[in-house]
Structure 1
């Protein structure tokens, strides 16, 4: 699989997260995929197609207008890295947070390992500090 094809695959993956089109998940994720979420999150990973489906349902039920805008993408060997800006309006509950109507915008980076033309593993890092500040869980002036 050439770099251009890998990048197309990852663009399709972001489209699925943006649209909530869960029926397209098997086109980009391998059946035995693992998605590693940031340390400190309640769920540290999602496994398999059902795990990815559940993660998409969870994020889109809390943030119905969820959108990931890819800013940078690099492909090398069997990996693709994206830096993207995620936005959404919290209308449900997410990770115990229920501040309905709060808009968030934060940076994320994901590394995708590709085998057999599909994502077999994904590592996701997100700017949770920025998110906590935007929803009022941490004051802007708080020293860290």
Structure 2
């Protein structure tokens, strides 16, 4: 393996040494990169550290956002809106339940075997009428 034909003996030896050193250096870097890729624990630790750092940063941003006066005003407005919506929903549920209870009572009265009607200021203030819809229990 002589390189005398190209550069001479002295120049070839020095160039070969430098080339071997470069190759060793590149090979060492390649081996380190491969070892880093194969080290699953280290990769997991790195990702965990990155996740912790991101969580700390987001928490800090959230604290700053909550501490501002504008955020407190928005929170109060949002709370008022939620309270109003809750009150409207509660009123709707109460009205529906009340309506259904009244409807049940009306149905029971309508399907009763005897209907009683009370009228004021008349000769016969109480009037009974047999409807024939249900059994008359004694």
Q: Which has the larger radius of gyration?
A: 2
Looking at secondary structure, tell me which structure has more strand per residue.
Answer: 1
Q: TM-score, normalised by structure 2?
A: 0.20
Determine which structure has greater relative contact order: mean sequence separation of CA pairs < 8 Å that are 6+ residues apart, divided by chain length. Answer: 1
